[in-house]
Amino acid sequence: MGLLIEDKSIAVPGEVLAEGMDYLPADGAIREGENVVSSRVGLVHVDGRAIRVIQLAGSYMPKRNDTVIAKVVDVLMSGWRLDINCAYSAMLPLRDATSDYIEKGANLTKFFDLGDYMVCKITNVTSQKLVDVSMKGPGLWKIKRGRIINVTPCKVPRIIGKQGSMVTMIKDATGCKVTVGQNGVIWVQCDDPEKERIAVDTIKKIEAEAHISGLTDRIKEHLDKVSKK
């Protein structure tokens, strides 16, 4: 009876995490009869009576109010189709793209052309995963320079850190501008290419070690070491 697996260990689908009714299944776990069973590969997190399995892999699932970095894949009659690094593409309608007056039949590539990147916000997601995005709002803009890197979307919270602590640390140490999209697409820009490289390497390091405890200290040490060189 009770907990059968250690807190902070790795669970696999179908693994029995706890026996009896003392524990409750939360995200990533299910109850099967008397048992709490894991439903994915992930990190076990026991919070009081609740057992959660934190996702370590998987694709991005669009959510309303997420800020994402998107790429234009098609220019339509009344807007743009964007790739948001998931199975579903997003739609940017004209009225949410710009406050400029656009004449009927105008060439929309003047605003966003194929292959352009932008930081935008998801305004709506339907049950069939039709996604609408908007460019209107603070902190949403068209990306003109810098570089784009991709990380596993479920590592994004670790890259941002508590109240943005991790990403601020990278920004302070390297002097780079960094924007992290919830979809795992990250924009990094710096005038010094060497510093840009350090920032990218650091983000990749966080991605690889996100599930090992003591991450913040390790990253701090790493940044101190590389920026001294």
- Answer yes or no whether residue 15 interacts with another protein by CB under 8 A: yes
CB-based contact 36:24 (threshold 8 Å): yes
10 Å CB burial of residue 45 (0-12, 13-18, 19+) is: middle
CB-based contact 176:170 (threshold 8 Å): yes
Out of 100, 128, 193, 214, point to the residue binding another protein (CB under 8 A).
128
- Answer yes or no whether residue 10 interacts with another protein by CB under 8 A: yes
Out of 40, 142, 177, 195, point to the residue binding another protein (CB under 8 A).
40
Q: How far apart are CA 7 and CA 174, in angstroms?
A: 35
Question: Shortest gap between Cβ of 39 and another protein (angstroms)?
Answer: 5
- Answer yes or no whether residue 4 interacts with another protein by CB under 8 A: no
Is the Cβ of residue 43 or residue 120 nearer to another protein in the bound state? 43
CB-based contact 154:61 (threshold 8 Å): no
Question: Shortest gap between Cβ of 133 and another protein (angstroms)?
Answer: 17
- Answer yes or no whether residue 13 interacts with another protein by CB under 8 A: yes
Q: Which range touches another protein (CB under 8 A), out of 17-25, 126-134, 142-150, 188-196? A: 126-134
Q: How far apart are CA 227 and CA 136, in angstroms?
A: 37
